[in-house]
Amino acid sequence: MAEFTVQTTETERVWDAEGVPVLTARASMPKPVGTERRYRRIASFYRLQERAFFQYCQRELRPWAETEYRAAAKNSVPRSCSCATLNFQETYRAGRLWSLYTELRENAAPGPTFRRRWGDTWDIVTGYPVALPDFFPPRFRWKQALWRLAAEEIERQERRGLAQYHPDWRRRLRRCFNPANYCLTPEGVAFFYPMYALAPAAEGIPCFLYPWDGDPPLSVRQIR
Rounded to whole angstroms, how far apart are CA atoms 209 and 98? 18
Residues 57-109 pLDDT 10s:
999 999 998 988 888 878 877 777 899 999 999 999 999 999 999 999 998 65
Residue 175 and residue 191 in contact, taking contact as beta carbons nearer than 8 Å: no
The predicted pLDDT at position 223 comes to 62
| CATH tag, 132-211 | 3.90.640.20
Return residue ranges of the chain for CATH 3.30.565.40. Answer: 6-129
The predicted pLDDT at position 69 comes to 84
From residue 183, alpha-carbon distances to 9, 14, 36 in Å are 21, 31, 24
The predicted pLDDT at position 18 comes to 86
The predicted pLDDT at position 185 comes to 97
The predicted pLDDT at position 220 comes to 83
Residues 6+ apart with CB under 8 A from 146: 177, 191, 208, 210
3-state SS track over 15-48: EEECCEEEEEEEEEEEEECCCCHHHHHHHHHHHH
Return residue ranges of the chain for CATH 3.90.640.20. Answer: 132-211
CATH 3.30.565.40 is the classification of domain 6-129: yes
The predicted pLDDT at position 110 comes to 59
Residues 150-186 pLDDT 10s:
999 999 999 999 999 999 999 999 999 999 999 999 9
